[in-house]
Amino acid sequence: MIYLIVDGYNLIGQQNSENICDQNLRTKIINQVKSYASYYHFMPVVVFDGKGVTSNFQKLPGVNVIYTNRNTEADQTIIKLVETNKSHHCIVVTKDHDLAKKCRKLGAEVKPNLNLNISNKNKQEIKSSRLSDNDVHYWLDEFGFQNKEVS
C-alpha cells in the first residue's frame, strides 16, 4: 500500500496564495487529491493546520482529511503519519523544505506537488496491487461468467 500524505495548506498556497483558509479551496484540493489517489490506487490523507479549530478527522469517500488542533501544526501530524506507516511506502506532497527534509530522513518520498513523476519502484508497487489475469478469470468463473463476454 502506498500512502499519499498531503500538506493541505501548502498545496493550496501553491495554487492560490490570497486566501488559503477558504473552504472552497480546501474542498477543491481534497477533490484533486482524491481523484489523483484513485487513479494511482494510493491511500490519501490530506492534513490541514486546524488553527482555531478543534482536532478533527474526517473519513470521506476516497480520502481521509485531518484538521490538527490549534496546538499542533500539520507538519507534526504529517511526520507522525510517516513514522507510523514506515512499513508502507509514503509519498509526502509539500514544498516546505524543513518538513520535506524530516520526511526524507524517515524514508518517505517527497514531491512538491501532485504532478508526481512516479518512480519505477512505485510503478511496480502500483502494478502489483492490481488483480492478475488469473485472479480476474478465477472471480469471473466464481460468479458464472466463464463463457460470457464481460463488458
Percent of the chain with pLDDT over 90: 40
Q: Give the pTM.
A: 0.73
pLDDT at 128 exceeding the cut of 60: no
- Model confidence at 72: pLDDT above 90: no
Domains of the chain: 2-117 (3.40.50)
Give the model confidence (pLDDT) of 111-120 as tens digits.
998 875 544 4
The model's confidence at residue 53, banded by pLDDT at 50, 70 and 90, is low
Instruction: Encode pLDDT of 85-95 as tens digits.
Output: 988 999 999 99
SS (H, E, C) the chain: CEEEEEEHHHHHHHHCCCCCCCHHHHHHHHHHHHHHHHHHCCEEEEEECCCCCCCEEEEECCEEEEECCCCCCHHHHHHHHHHHCCCCEEEEECCCHHHHHHHHHCCCEEECCCCCCCCHHHHHHHHHCCCCHHHHHHHHHHCCCCCCCCC
61, three cell numbers: 469517500
pLDDT for 149 equals 47
Cell of 138: 478465477
